[in-house]
Structure 1
Amino acid sequence: MTVSSDQPIIDLRSDTVTTPTPEMRRAMAEALVGDDVYAEDPTVNELQAEAAQLLGFEAGLFMPSGTMTNQVAIAVHTQRGEEVICAEGSHIYEWELGMMATFSGVVPRFVPAPGGVPDPEQLRRAVRRSIHQSPSGLISLENTHNKAGGTVLPLEVIRGAREVASSEGLPLHLDGARVMNAAAALNVPVREITQHFDSVSLCLSKGLGAPVGSVLLGSRAFIGRAHRYRKMMGGGMRQAGILAAAGLIALREGPAKLQDDHRRARVLAEALLNAGHDVDLNTVQTNMIYATIPDAQTHVDRWAAQGLRSSALEPDRVRFVFHHQITDELLERAVAIVGGQAS
């Protein structure tokens, strides 16, 4: 069966697939701009200041991607030859193409993270001080944890990690690509999460719905050093206010939509389970679903022919990610497709 040409595609491959809203397009067309490499783009400056205020930091720096904000943070925090302590399955290792080694000359040291949640005591035990080993330079957490299924770090774990970092004299970075999803799931202001970190990477182009961009947050001194590394990585975007204008709308309006994304993900997860697919509902905490399905690509291809796009990230693992452009009507069709009831 193939999808009818008059039916919209249900694209659940990622929350990065959204297109700019009409409000974003108008803001982009009307944005005041300047040369951001000279820190003279007023719209970029507004976005950076607003993101910093919202997450509780002194300053922010707009960049093209979350990979760049994470890797710039690593470069600022560490010295060559050091280790970055991170949870197993962390995005900074799994999907950032070895950049911490290539650019910063550091390597990861993984700690176990069942369900994406490391034990603070395991973080402490991973710290290295011996002359015979690479010294620890940074602790990095991920919230929500992508590869674990979009799971949320409990606040007590974050507080425990902060205590470890402080007592060991190490900076603590958050890959907060979807930290707004975590805040929505915990029903707390995002500052309740971010206040414990020395730096945070916030993605605007995932759940928040902007077409491009991430913001790195930290102290003024930290962001001052980050400017150099952004330029080294080719992140000087000149009149970037055109993009920042959409980012401002995403930052202001996107968080209110996340609870609906989470609700819809839960509905589809239950439908997959009812259809006989292996889904751990305990991991469906935000806008993601990971289903264990043998011969995953065959199922993905069959569903795609019916108008539902998903991702076979492993031979037996399929990911679905909800975003604000998936309505309840599209959800209903998705449920029918995975249940084998689509017409």
Structure 2
Amino acid sequence: MTAIDLRSDTVTKPTDEMRSAMATAEVGDDVFGEDPSINELQERSAALLGKEAGLLTSSGTMSNLIATLAWSNHGDEIIMGTEAHMFWNESAGQAALGGVQTRLVPNDSQGRINPDDVAAAIRPSGNLHFPRTSMICLENTHNRCSGGVLTPEDTKSVGDVAHAAGVPVHLDGARIFNASVALEVPPAELARDVDDLSFCLSKSLSCPVGSVLVGSQDFIDNAKRWRKMLGGGMRQAGVLAAAGLVALDTMIDRLAEDHQHAKRLAAGLANIDGLTVDPESIQTNIVFFEVDEDLGTAADLIAALNRNGVLVSYPGKQSIRMVTHRHISPEDIEEALSRTSAAVRELRSAA
């Protein structure tokens, strides 16, 4: 039985065109700014997102941490949503390495945060009892909110509040191109009201590794120092950038296929007794669903799914996540649904 891997779009492998580009990439020492492939990727990424400059990093986690370090000092406070990837899945790097504390405001089901909540959370300046609010963090698409997207208006509403208080906005845009395709909005428009953002090459874009951080030239100049301090100053890494350049040319428009597959997946899951999901809520390539307690826990269903050749992940006791990507076909979706039905029947018969 061939496994159907829905754990994440990080399991994607580079295309043949990427592998060829990597094999023939022109390279140089990037710490000296001399790798032409990296320079081209950074310049194209910044232009695509309407920013002045870019910086290749090893991962989205590194990009997000660098942004925190660039904007913050020890003892500062950053604000983000209760379901933010930076809070849940990045090993508390902001606290451990940045010396900053995190203040959480509620995310809604789509991943939005209320501008009024942000305004209330920003610390008033001049009070020595309070930490300084150094950064507001947004996420688009929102991982833990079923891949929900932020519209340009959603982002502007928070950006206006932050900037009125003199606080920069960082966007964790790991899947920003999924949002762009889903909304049919240019990525630069989604980035217009943030001061910097990161996006991942290694998720839906199918590259083997990498993230790009973009912002103003001054911000990126500062970010380079922090990248070096974190051990992220790569040398002849143009072989990685070459895959990223191919991705920008060939991988963005096809994301619509992943979104279609995710919507079909959600519709099928909704028809399986014991599973709960709202298909209308699915906007991109991430599907969260709940497991009824009479079937057991998410871990119980995951074990049954593994036995039936479906690989998934889960963020909580009763929640399971499935992610569509380049390697998942329409036939895989139908087979995954059939196998999931079998796994649920298995649990029900054992109850």
Q: Same fold (TM over 0.5)?
A: yes
Tell me how far 1:248 sits from its aligned partner: 1.1
For 2:338, the equivalent position in structure 1 comes to 336
Note the C-alpha offset of 1:282: 4.3
Summarize the alignment of residues 86-125 of structure 1 with structure 2, pairs less than 5 Å apart.
86-115=80-109, 116-125=111-120
Which residue identity does 2:116 align to in structure 1?
E
In structure 2, distance between residues paired with 1:91 and 1:314: 14
Specify the alignment match of 1:284 in structure 2. 282
CA distance in 1, matches of 2:200, 2:209: 9
Counterparts of 1:154 and 1:95 in 2: how far apart (Å)?
A: 24
Question: How many Å apart are 1:288 and its aligned residue?
Answer: 0.4
Q: Which moved more, 1:202-211 or 1:324-333?
A: 324-333
Identity level (%): 44
Residue matched to 1:245:
242
Instruction: Return 5+ residue gaps in structure 2 as ranges.
Output: 346-351
The one-letter code sitting in structure 2 at the alignment partner of 1:127 is I
Deviation at 1:197, TM superposition (A): 0.9
Which among 178, 200, 205 is matched to residue 203 of structure 1? 200
Deviation by residue 1:247-287 (Cα, 9 ceiling, x = unmatched): 11112211111111011001111111101211133432110
Q: Structure 1: which amino acid aligns with 2:311?
A: R
Residue 70 (structure 1) shift: 0.5
In the alignment, what sits opposite 1:166?
Answer: 163
- Are 1:35 and 2:37 an aligned pair? no
Deviation, structure 1 residue 315: 2.4
- Runs (4 or more) in structure 1 with deviation over 6 Å come to none
TM-fit CA distance, 1:111:
0.8
2:134 is aligned to: 137
Distance in 1 separating the partners of 2:279 and 2:161: 31
Pair 1:194 & 2:196 matched: no
CA contact (8 A) 2:151 2:190 kept: no
CA distance in 2, matches of 1:124, 1:292: 33
CA distance in 2, matches of 1:137, 1:312: 32
1:231 paired residue among 223, 228, 231: 228
Name 2:349's counterpart in structure 1.
none
What is the match of residue 329 of structure 2? 327
Q: Which residue of 2 aligns with 1:73?
A: 67
1:213 equivalent in alignment to 2:215? no
Deviation track 1:99-146 (CA, whole Å, cap 9, x = no partner) reads 111111111111111111111111111110232211211111011111
Cα-Cα RMSD? 1.4
SS in 2 for 1:123: helix
Deviation of 1:71 after TM superposition, in Å, equals 0.5
Q: Which runs of 5 or more residues in structure 1 are unaligned?
A: none
Question: Which AA in structure 1 matches 2:29?
Answer: D
TM-score by length of 2: 0.93
